[in-house]
Amino acid sequence: MKRVGPFVLERRLAPSRGAVLGVSLLAVVLALLVAALIFWGYGVNPWHAYRVIFQGTLASPQGWAEVVRRAIPLILCGVGLVVAFRAQFWNIGAEGQLLAGAVAATGVALFSGLPDPWLLPAMFLAGFLAGAVWGMIPALLKVKLRVNDVISTLMLNYVMMYIVEWLVHGPWKGPTARGFAYSDLFPRAARLPLIPGTRIHWITLVVGVAMAIACAFLLSRTKLGYETRVVGQSQDAARYAGIDFLKVTLWVMLISGGLAGLAGAGEMAGVHYRLRSPAHISMGYGYTAIIVAWLARGSPLAAVVTALLFGLIFAAGDVIKVALAMPFQVTDVFNGLILFFLIGSELLMYWHIRWAPKRAASEG
């Protein structure tokens, strides 16, 4: 217990809901303030910048539509990462798993020869499986060979990135336009319907929300979810309790990688309709999803909300690029700042601040 002026600070053993929410909000606000400084340093009036962003994103239905569209892959990846983080599996590889899903979906769309009605479901299934496999490799490596999960998932991002580059410049190369390489365009049956007037491929959105609900259910009401949570909180207790570490890790990464793969399939079938260079498929969705999941603090349902927040940031990035002529990297800066403040403020959640001026206080 400490005294700072008229305030008394007491350390709590577990943070209250209100403290968590309040501190998270504070972190975001502080990040936005620092971002304002960066705007100012770039020669842009921050107030003007924020107004432009607001107008371009939240002030119109089209703006909202873009926010939602950007949030779709974040929802899927984010929910998957929430599950992985709950098992203390540091899946930094959502980016690669998303690309794996994109590759698989493209393969099905262009080469499978399936009849039209089966095309989209098959694409999504293939995307899920590809992402799942790409995610289970590091899981195996971690359990059997103790390979650090951060490094293995990250390295596989780069590996898959170059595989996509190779495909797009090599075997799957289609007609090139303006120096960029693409695969062939998908047939009509392999494209998702959009909400009229927007670019939202709503089927993927529904899938994403459904998955969020399913994962929330999984974590709280199933044996696997229970075992996942035990593994995530105390490996020693998990061993003692006879929980099969390998089984749980593989399942968790199957889900986490699979959901990212679904996101990749969604981007292919709903946005691009072709395989292209990785930087254009995923603008860092996989990495941003890490913050989405972190901010969601372990709740798949909360991840839907936080995904929208970061969808907003991505949409804002587009606006900034066009209206303010600042490069898209500013979103990375935003994201980094928010994450800094989030983790920096966590300690705050454990301190309860009370107003207790010295006169009234007789506590020691």
Are 67 and 308 contacting, i.e. CB atoms less than 8 angstroms apart? Answer: yes
Q: Which of residues 60-119 bind other proteins (CB under 8 A)?
A: 90, 92
Q: Distance (Å, rounded) from C-alpha 262 to C-alpha 101? A: 6
The amino acid occupying position 191 is R
Nearest CA-CA partner of 94 in 54, 145, 48, 153: 153
- What is the Cβ-side half-sphere exposure of residue 102, based on CA atoms within 13 angstroms? 33
Are 144 and 239 contacting, i.e. CB atoms less than 8 angstroms apart? Answer: no
Q: Distance (Å, rounded) from C-alpha 208 to C-alpha 217? A: 14
Are 286 and 263 contacting, i.e. CB atoms less than 8 angstroms apart? Answer: no
The single residue among 26, 28, 30, 141 that binds other proteins, judged by CB under 8 A, is 141
Element (H, E) at 7: strand 7-11
CB of 172 to other proteins, least distance (A): 12
Are 294 and 303 contacting, i.e. CB atoms less than 8 angstroms apart? Answer: no
Cα angle 260, 266, 267; round to 5: 95
Q: Does 17 help bind other proteins (rule: CB under 8 A)? A: no
Nearest CA-CA partner of 32 in 326, 347, 330: 330
Q: Tell me how many residues contact other proteins (CB under 8 A).
A: 71
CB of 352 to other proteins, least distance (A): 10
> Closer to other proteins at the Cβ: 114 or 301?
301
The stretch among 21-29, 47-55, 261-269, 321-329 that binds other proteins (CB under 8 A) is 321-329
Q: Does 245 help bind other proteins (rule: CB under 8 A)? A: no
Q: Does 250 help bind other proteins (rule: CB under 8 A)? A: no
CB of 207 to other proteins, least distance (A): 21
CB of 2 to other proteins, least distance (A): 10
Q: Distance (Å, rounded) from C-alpha 15 to C-alpha 8? A: 17
The single residue among 7, 40, 118, 162 that binds other proteins, judged by CB under 8 A, is 162
CB of 55 to other proteins, least distance (A): 22
Q: Which of residues 204-233 bind other proteins (CB under 8 A)?
A: 221-227, 229-230, 233
Q: Does 346 help bind other proteins (rule: CB under 8 A)? A: yes
The single residue among 38, 133, 185, 250 that binds other proteins, judged by CB under 8 A, is 38
The stretch among 12-20, 108-116, 188-196, 208-216 that binds other proteins (CB under 8 A) is 12-20
Q: Does 20 help bind other proteins (rule: CB under 8 A)? A: no
